[in-house]
Amino acid sequence: MGRLLLLVLLLPLPCIPGLPFYNGFYYSNSAHGWDPGLGGVQCLFNGVKLVVETPEDTLLSHRGANVTLPCRYHYEPALASHRPVRIKWWKLSEHGAPEQDVLVAVGPRHRSFGDYRGRVHLRPAGERDVSLEIRDLRLEDSGRYRCEVIDGLEDQSGVVELELRGVVFPYQPPQGRYQLNFQEAQQACEAQEAAVASFEQLFRAWEEGLHWCNAGWLQDASVQYPITLARGPCGGLGLAPGVRSYGPRHRRLHRYDVFCFAAALRGRVYYLEHPEKLTLSEAKAACREDGAQIAKVGQLFAAWKFRGLDRCDAGWLADGSARYPVAHPRPTCGPLEPGVRSFGFPDPQSRKYGVYCYRPP
């Protein structure tokens, strides 16, 4: 028997092959000490396993909210002592968008990155709870996040999926069909208080019945269109319904429509009660006189989807289009599915429409 060697665990934890592990200490009976150069990861705990738990269900939240992405870890079998770990949260790359670091923490120190700086921290909820709080959610925050716990060389992780409530709508500019390259598509959505939709968002909208016969840009610069009823000019006869893809397109040279994603609203959209119909510039002025602004397309879609806005009167919107929202279809009010109907971009001088206004909270 050689001397008994007591090794206190330090961060980063060395990998010690073949040593028994008791109560947070390694004991060695080797006269020559230990050789950290040998062995694989599984040698670290000699049977003590690090387990990371995250929820399976997608978290649903909305723009401007604070959300907690749950993540806990434990050891099997249980360990009584506290062991220092390193925590890393990052957002997974999705459809061409790069992976993003979110937060790294060691003990009480932590550092956040990029757009997340100042908006994220670990929930101060006790040991082995490393849930991530994100404040003031942005549209771009939706996606999958990985929570990684690193204990020396042992390293386990789990994934949390976050989805923001919103509505997808196809958008064409006043110039007509297939006019937007990728950058112009992004600007078009932003101008309507929305962002270019992701594939997941378009797919969900298709599951809920979105049918659109023109191809539009998505966030990953691919071009797709959702078909619920395959028809001749629209996906081809005899083909199954689905989201059809043209694949990735050239961001500058190719021109399509775009699918925008508008988040649930905080303010209120309403049809302005007004004695006469208005020209476009009168419509803008009328909303201002009412202490509001003429509504953007994304705001009208969000009010229709999340507030059940239902009105059979077509009204001007900020982009110069005229539309009306129908939540409860009826024979006197257009087609028999719910939706936002469009009259395209009428002559701005015509006096055939009312106006939808938006008042911030």
Ligand X SMILES: *[C@@H]1O[C@H](CO)[C@@H](O)[C@H](O)[C@H]1NC(C)=O
Part of the chain binding ligand X (CB under 6 A), chosen from 8-16, 62-70, 186-194, 235-243: 62-70
CA–CA separation, 361 and 213 (whole Å): 36
Contact between 234 and ligand X by CB under 6 A: the answer reads no
CA–CA separation, 117 and 114 (whole Å): 6
Part of the chain binding ligand X (CB under 6 A), chosen from 59-67, 161-169, 170-178, 211-219: 59-67
Token duo for residue 17 = 């092959």
With CB atoms as reference, the residue minimizing the distance to ligand X is: 66
Least Å from the CB of residue 125 to ligand X: 14
Contact between 65 and ligand X by CB under 6 A: the answer reads yes
Token duo for residue 177 = 């069909």
CA–CA separation, 90 and 129 (whole Å): 17
The neighbour count for residue 360, using CB atoms within 10 Å, is 9
Contact 25, 7 (CB under 8 A): yes
- DSSP assignment letter at 139: G
Of 145-174, binders to ligand X (CB under 6 A) are none
Strand partners, 234: 231
Part of the chain binding ligand X (CB under 6 A), chosen from 7-15, 25-33, 64-72, 119-127: 64-72
Part of the chain binding ligand X (CB under 6 A), chosen from 60-68, 74-82, 317-325, 339-347: 60-68
Residues in Cβ contact with 78 at an 8 Å cutoff, skipping those fewer than 6 apart: none
Measured between its terminal Cα atoms, the distance across the chain in Å is 76
Of 18-37, binders to ligand X (CB under 6 A) are none
- Closer CB to ligand X, residue 64 or residue 267? 64
Contact 356, 267 (CB under 8 A): no
- Closer CB to ligand X, residue 135 or residue 177? 135
- How many of the chain's residues bind ligand X (CB under 6 A)? 4
Least Å from the CB of residue 140 to ligand X: 18
Dihedral sign for Cα atoms in the order 222, 225, 226, 230: negative
Token duo for residue 18 = 């073949």
Part of the chain binding ligand X (CB under 6 A), chosen from 61-69, 189-197, 282-290, 303-311: 61-69
User: Binding string, 89-128, against ligand X, x = CB under 6 A?
Assistant: ----------------------------------------
- Closer CB to ligand X, residue 242 or residue 267? 267
Least Å from the CB of residue 138 to ligand X: 13
Least Å from the CB of residue 137 to ligand X: 9
Contact between 66 and ligand X by CB under 6 A: the answer reads yes
- For residues 34, 37, 43, 49, the Cα torsion angle rounded to the nearest 10 degrees is 110
Of 320-359, binders to ligand X (CB under 6 A) are none
Contact 303, 297 (CB under 8 A): no
Nearest CA to 295 out of 345, 359, 212 is that of 359
Part of the chain binding ligand X (CB under 6 A), chosen from 10-18, 58-66, 116-124, 246-254: 58-66
Phi and psi at 201, nearest 5°, equal -65, -40
Least Å from the CB of residue 64 to ligand X: 6
Strand partners, 73: 52
- Closer CB to ligand X, residue 50 or residue 264? 264
* SS3 (DSSP) at 340: strand
By CB under 6 A, name the one of 49, 117, 135, 352 that touches ligand X.
135
- Closer CB to ligand X, residue 17 or residue 64? 64
**Which residues are at the interface with ligand X (CB under 6 A)?**
64-66, 135
